[in-house]
Amino acid sequence: MARAAVLGRLTWRVGTLVAFRDETEFARTLVFSIPDWPGHDAGQHVDVRLTAPDGYSTQRSYSIASAAGGDLVELTVERLADGEVSPYLSQVLSIGDQIELRGPVGGWFVWDPSLAAQVLLVAGGSGVVPLMSMVRTRAKFGSHVPFRLVYSVRDPGSVLFGAELAELQRVDSSFEVHYAFTRTTPAGVARPAGRIDATYLADAGFSAGLAPAVFVCGPTGFVETVANLLVAAGHDAGRVKTERFGPSGSQR
Amino acid sequence: MAGIVSPGFFGRRRVAGASLPPGQYLVRDFPVLSAGPTPRVSHDTWEFRIVTETGEKRGWDWAAFTALPAEDITVDLHCVTKWSKLGTSWRGVSVDTLLDGIETSAEYALALSYGGYTTNLPLSALVDGKAWLAFSYDGSDLTPEHGGPVRLLVPHLYLWKSAKWVRGIDLRLREERGFWEQLGYHNDGDPWLEQRYSAD
């Protein structure tokens, strides 16, 4: 919140792509160097502006995946089949190319590593991106606040950051990842494919009595369902922060 | 800013005749953006009240509210997250109707919602046929996800000013910033001036 209070004008800055990593068949992480980048909090996003040679331009918002602080900004962009901007960012933009960005934006859906409350993160698909920034920020700042990530994803091939999450879980007993595969489960997983329900949330998440801070991010229908389940399970609505994307009813 | 051009980017050109504010793109669906769980408010318990700067109150329960004259409204919506949706159809009660007969010298309004959301507007943005309390969308009761039972509809400003689940309007002599306005978003939120963030 402190950042919001001192926010000056958010100017457009030129970001240069310095690296990229393909996370899945459809998602690529783009690493930008942005001179005079003021830094960001875990969970914030940036606006991206692309301009075509004839002057046509358009803007989109993308969550930041990298940890708070730091000079580089990582965006993990999922390519949408009918997207206007995501196919360009995830397939065409090359090392050394420049685009315009401004931010960081958003002072609500953010996690502050100085907070003591345990944290429940619930991700639907690429909604894991801003939550990953929180997970990385926790590790970077050496926080030992108990974190649980409940990650709903279509199939094993669609998991973002899987190896990094596994490693973080291996080295830190207060960090847990619980996958809910909605279509195809990997070999050896007992839980049949299916959406997150009340039972799964109760088993994998923190109970309402522990008063965790909760962050839910994903497609609208997913977030609506999960937020309703959490409130029904006794979580205080004021501690459940949500970020929704996509059309109502979408299950991307 | 000297234009940074992306040679390989073509983009999707605007539909001929479609008039969009700067930086907006057209959608056909109706995205939902909310900061927390969706409040569920039944018609039985719903109330709306206006409180003036002197503390004078006027309130409506569901029966009284739905007895007020309502209008069909067709307007374009512009969300600060960049999407715009054109020609949306609503039914609602004009804020002018609600304010009729209320004595006030307030210049500012703070809309208050079930669930704790707030947003501030100059009173001038809410009057003269520019704002409604909408209870129906596309011919059906307004769903909770889109702000039902009743949301404020101020289509000439970015959509965060159209408070979902609205339960009241406080009229104030001094401005008090609302939820997003305290979190770095613009105080006025005019999409045609692209007033997205605080110092735009």
Domain ranges of chain B: 25-31+48-193
Residue A197 to residue A232: CA distance in whole angstroms:
12
Q: A171: exposed, middle or buried (C-beta count within 10 Å: 0-12, 13-18, 19+)?
A: exposed
Task: Check CB contact under 8 Å for A248 and B7.
Answer: no
> What is the rounded average pLDDT of the residues B127-137?
98
Positive or negative CA dihedral for B92, B98, B100, B106?
negative
Give Cβ neighbours of residue A110 (< 8 Å, ≥ 6 apart).
A41, A42, A43, A44
Residue in B3, B36, B197 closest to A242 by CB? B36
pTM over 0.95: no
> What is the rounded average pLDDT of the residues B38-63?
97
Is the backbone peptide bond immediately before A53 cis, with ω within 30 degrees of 0? Answer: no
For chain B, the average pLDDT equals 94
* Chain B residues touching residue A236 (CB < 8 angstroms): none
* Chain A residues touching residue B182 (CB < 8 angstroms): 4, 107
Residue A75 to residue A79: CA distance in whole angstroms:
12
Rounded to 5°, the CA angle A138-A142-A147 comes to 40
B115 at interface of A, judged by CB pairs closer than 8 A? yes
pLDDT at res. A189: 84
Q: A78: exposed, middle or buried (C-beta count within 10 Å: 0-12, 13-18, 19+)?
A: buried
Residue A6 to residue A206: CA distance in whole angstroms:
34
pLDDT at res. B10: 85
Residue in B6, B116, B184 closest to A88 by CB? B6
pLDDT at res. B6: 93
Residue in B8, B11, B81 closest to A84 by CB? B11
Residue A169 to residue A187: CA distance in whole angstroms:
20
The widest CA-to-CA distance across chain A, in whole angstroms, is 57
Q: Pick the residue with more confidence: B16 or A157?
A: A157
B10 at interface of A, judged by CB pairs closer than 8 A? yes
Complex prediction ipTM: 0.89
How many angstroms separate the CA of residue A40 from the nearest CA in chain B?
Answer: 13
* Chain B residues touching residue A106 (CB < 8 angstroms): 183-184
Rounded to 5°, the CA angle A136-A141-A145 comes to 80
- Name which of B1, B5, B9 to mutate to probe chain A: the one with the most chain A Cβ atoms within 10 A of its Cβ: B9
**β-pairing, B71-78 with B83-94?**
antiparallel
**β-pairing, A147-153 with A119-124?**
parallel
With contact defined as beta carbons under 8 Å apart, do B163 and B151 qualify?
yes
For residue A48, give the H/E element and its range: strand A45-51
With contact defined as beta carbons under 8 Å apart, do A37 and A73 qualify?
yes
Residue B14 to residue A85: CA distance in whole angstroms:
14
B18 at interface of A, judged by CB pairs closer than 8 A? no
Per-residue confidence band for B30, with pLDDT thresholds at 50, 70 and 90: confident
Positive or negative CA dihedral for B84, B85, B86, B92?
negative
| pLDDT tens by residue, B74-111 | 999 999 999 999 999 999 999 999 999 999 999 999 99
With contact defined as beta carbons under 8 Å apart, do A221 and A250 qualify?
yes
What is the homologous superfamily of the domain B25-31+48-193 according to CATH?
Oxidoreductase, molybdopterin-binding domain (3.90.420.10)
* Chain A residues touching residue B33 (CB < 8 angstroms): 244
Residue B55 to residue B49: CA distance in whole angstroms:
11
Residue in B11, B38, B39 closest to A52 by CB? B11
Residue A219 to residue B89: CA distance in whole angstroms:
24
Residue A37 to residue A14: CA distance in whole angstroms:
10
**β-pairing, A98-105 with A13-22?**
antiparallel
B15 at interface of A, judged by CB pairs closer than 8 A? no
Residue A113 to residue A68: CA distance in whole angstroms:
9
pLDDT at res. A204: 92
With contact defined as beta carbons under 8 Å apart, do A233 and B25 qualify?
no
pLDDT at res. A4: 43
pLDDT at res. A251: 32
Say whether A173 sits in a helix, a strand or coil. coil
pLDDT at res. A7: 55
* Chain B residues touching residue A1 (CB < 8 angstroms): 183
Question: How many percent of chain B have pLDDT more than 70?
Answer: 96
Task: Check CB contact under 8 Å for A247 and B25.
Answer: no
Per-residue confidence band for B18, with pLDDT thresholds at 50, 70 and 90: low
pLDDT at res. A247: 57
pLDDT at res. B32: 79
Phi, psi of A42, deg, nearest 5: -65, 120
Residue A217 to residue A224: CA distance in whole angstroms:
10
Chunked into runs of 10 residues, chain A (252 residues) has average pLDDT values of 54 96 97 94 95 91 94 94 92 97 93 95 97 98 96 97 97 96 90 92 93 96 96 96 71 30
Per-residue confidence band for B17, with pLDDT thresholds at 50, 70 and 90: low
Go through the domains of chain A in sequence order and give each one's CATH number: 2-105 (2.40.30.10), 119-245 (3.40.50.80)
Give Cβ neighbours of residue A227 (< 8 Å, ≥ 6 apart).
A216, A240, A242, B36, B37, B38
